[in-house]
Chains A and B, each alone.
Chain A
Amino acid sequence: MENIAITQEVKPPNTSKGPVKWLQDNLFNTWYNTILTCLALVFLFFVFKGGLTWIFTQAEWEVIPANLQILMIGPYPIEQAWRIWIVLCTLFVLLGLSAGVWKGLVLRISAAIAIFGLILLLIPLDVVKNSEAEYAVLEFNFNIIYLIFLKRTWLLGGLVLFIVTFFLGRDKNVLKRWVIGGWVLSLPYTMMVLHGFGENSVSTTHWGGLFLTLVLAAAGITMCFPLGVLLALGRRSQLPAIKWVSTIYIETIRGVPLITLLIMGSVLFPIFMPGDLQLDKVLRAELALILFSAAYMAENVRGGLQAVPQGQVEAAQAVGLTYPKTMLFIVLPQALRAVIPAIVGQFISLFKDTSLVTIIGLLDLLGIARSVLANPTWQGRYIEVYLFVAAIYFVFCYAMSYVSQKIEADLGVGKH
């Protein structure tokens, strides 16, 4: 009898619940919960009704399309805008190749970015002419249609390049090295193309809008991460000189608000520099952002380093790995994996902190939004403009957060 009972396969009890069951169990299980649920529904109804009514009927959204160009690229000369498009297309090429070569998670992330591009292609945000005098007048003259057509063509071209390079790079493992090299070079390349040379070059005083925000954030994120890792390793170094320099740097920077660093970079720094040697203003802001974030990044990474057991280092040493290789192959992969949420949190922070460059007179997305609002034509359109800006910040920050969750799942954090 007992033997039979053991060998019989016992299925787990059915605990799956339908949505109706869930509602019954959680929202309507007692008479007072039912009342609370109904009250909450009424409350939510009025909040949403108010918000949605405003968004769809009362808000005057024409301020956005009319200023779209300035919100996106600021005072960047429109006849030089092709530089930005070239950069975007190059990035699409790199994305496509990466998606083809690595597949898996990289493919899914790249595809999501491409789909986002496709959505932008279809949203008719820019059908209003960008001139204050004639705003909101849908003049279908040749010039506007040409400009809109041009933008669409660039974006479409980027997407086509993405798909083409995806198929070109598919399963070509030999390309991996080149694609990584391409990504490494993409930052200096981007800066060079955006700035240009000679009489057609676009000085950074003309950089602005979302474009400037993205440049500051992208360069900041890619530079502060390696610097932070080095500082974290430095702070744990056995060599007193390296240890103390790292510690003093980290503690000093963390003890100072970012605004002070930005102001020091913009006001104090030029005073100390010899007369004819002047660093670019955007570059100085960028340096302040990088140096600031690197200190926080270092502490995040150090937290991860402490989570790696000493036995791991000993095992690596026992097979004869040198210190740099022990760090590179054994300690850092585990340390960084453990603190992905903190690292991405720092990236998101940095992205939003770029808005502080307004203080030193740079016109990033938020700064340019304020300058749009200062224009009498758009007086009182605060909510519309700030909602739009907030939505843009949210899209980028949430995208980073979402990608980090996917990376964690892919690396099997907490599993192995």
Chain B
Amino acid sequence: MTENTTNDPIIICEDVHKWFDDFHVLKGITTTFKKGEKAVICGPSGSGKSTFIRTINRLEEHQRGTIIVDGIELSNDLRNINLIRQEVGMVFQQFNLFPHLTNIKNITLGPIQVRKMSKSAAEEAALALLDRMGIEDQAYKYPAEISGGQQQRVAIARALAMEPKIMLFDEPTSALDPEMISEVLDVMRELAHSGMTMLVVTHEMGFAREVADRVMFFDEGVVVEEAAPADFFDNPQHERTKLFISQTLQH
């Protein structure tokens, strides 16, 4: 849908399985994400959607199948995991900002320690990012001193500072007050238009309809249905999908 999508695959998942003890969370996910693609992943809680995107930067280990990110296969090789994590930014539901560091230090830590950037260059880049997020004036405050929406934008800036090729969003607006959701979605919308590859787990169906190239519907560890947003919302094929859409769009 968006003009930026290419045909080069950047994430390839083959029959990905994952268990929490005996509980089968992911039951064979096979899919490919293209460079520049924006995919929205939705589904009821416990459906495995968060677990799935967390396997992509190895915050969760998959136990069967293969995941190839940017040409590197995820295995137990720590070097590979760290390489992939540098290319994959992640934004969490609970922000997970480092409370003992100022906002700007939250952002510069990765570039300085991992990318070996100089302190001044990292700070300059961080200020530019905060400016892009519209919160340049909050740079030298601590996370606890700013609002939830601002914290989540700092968290997005922190992920972007590593100049990743892929951004993962794990329910980025679920912990926010309603009036702060839009300021975060605006930033994500802008990011989508810049051509970033984005995997977004969210319940914001309006955002999905507007920004996504593809909507994936997860239930009980499998992809029940995936389609372009227009088809997905207006013409769902499966009963489970229809029920989910009618329930989420009711309010």
Contacts and interface: CB of A to CB of B under 8 A. Distances in A.
A344 B100 CA distance: 20
Interface stretch (B67-75, B141-149, B218-226): B141-149
Nearest to B99: A416
Contacts of B144: 415-416
Given A321-B113, A329-B113, A416-B145, A315 B162 contact: no
A312 interface: yes
B97 interface: yes
A309 B93 CA distance: 14
Contacts of B92: 311, 314-315, 318
B114 A314 contact: no
B158 interface: yes
Interface in B48-62: 57, 59
A351 B207 CA distance: 61
B114 A329 contact: no
Nearest to A413: B100
Contacts of A375: none
A319 B100 contact: no
Contacts, number: 68
A415 B96 CA distance: 16
Interface stretch (A217-225, A330-338, A394-402): A330-338
Contacts of B59: 314, 317-318
B85 interface: yes
Given A311-B94, A318-B89, A416 B100 contact: yes
Interface residues of A, number: 22
Interface residues of B, number: 27
Contacts of A312: 96, 98
Contacts of B155: 315
Contact of B110 (A311, A314, A320, A337): A320
A411 B101 CA distance: 10
A319 B158 CA distance: 8
B159 A319 contact: yes
Interface in A287-328: 309, 311-312, 314-322, 325
A270 to B, nearest CB: 45
A329 B92 CA distance: 19
Interface in A376-416: 411-412, 415-416
B112 to A, nearest CB: 10
Contacts of B100: 333-334, 337, 411, 416
B181 to A, nearest CB: 20
A416 B142 contact: yes
> Which of B94, B113, B145, B162 is packed against the most chain A CB atoms within 10 Å?
B113
A333 B143 CA distance: 16
Interface in B194-230: none
B90 interface: yes
Contact of B85 (A320, A333, A416): A320
Given A325-B113, A329-B109, A315 B143 contact: no
B82 interface: yes
Contact of A320 (B96, B97, B99, B162): B162
B82 to A, nearest CB: 5
Contacts of A416: 99-100, 142-145
A311 B143 CA distance: 15
Interface in B75-119: 82, 85-86, 88-90, 92, 94, 96-100, 109-110, 113-114
A311 B99 contact: no
Contacts of B110: 319-321
A337 B98 CA distance: 13
Given A320-B162, A321-B114, A415-B144, A315 B98 contact: yes
A317 B96 contact: no
Contacts of A325: 113-114
B218 to A, nearest CB: 21
B96 A314 contact: yes
A317 B99 contact: no
Nearest to A310: B96
Contacts of B142: 412, 415-416
Query: Which of B96, B109, B145, B159 is packed against the most chain A CB atoms within 10 Å?
Result: B96
Contacts of A311: 92, 94, 96
B9 to A, nearest CB: 22
A416 B113 CA distance: 23
A320 B114 contact: yes
Nearest to A316: B98
B97 A315 contact: yes
A318 B159 contact: yes
B188 to A, nearest CB: 17
Contacts of B159: 318-319
Contacts of B82: 320, 322
B187 to A, nearest CB: 18
Contacts of A320: 82, 85-86, 110, 114, 162
B98 A330 contact: yes
Interface in A262-292: none
A354 B245 CA distance: 70
Contacts of B88: 318
Interface string B156-167: 001100100000
A325 to B, nearest CB: 5
In order of increasing CB-CB distance, the 4 nearest A-B pairs are A319-B110, A416-B142, A315-B96, A318-B90
Interface of A: 309, 311-312, 314-322, 325, 329-330, 333-334, 337, 411-412, 415-416
Given A315-B92, A320-B86, 7 more contacts: A311-B96, A318-B88, A318-B90, A319-B110, A320-B82, A321-B113, A416-B142
6 contacts: A319-B109, A319-B158, A320-B162, A321-B109, A322-B82, A416-B99
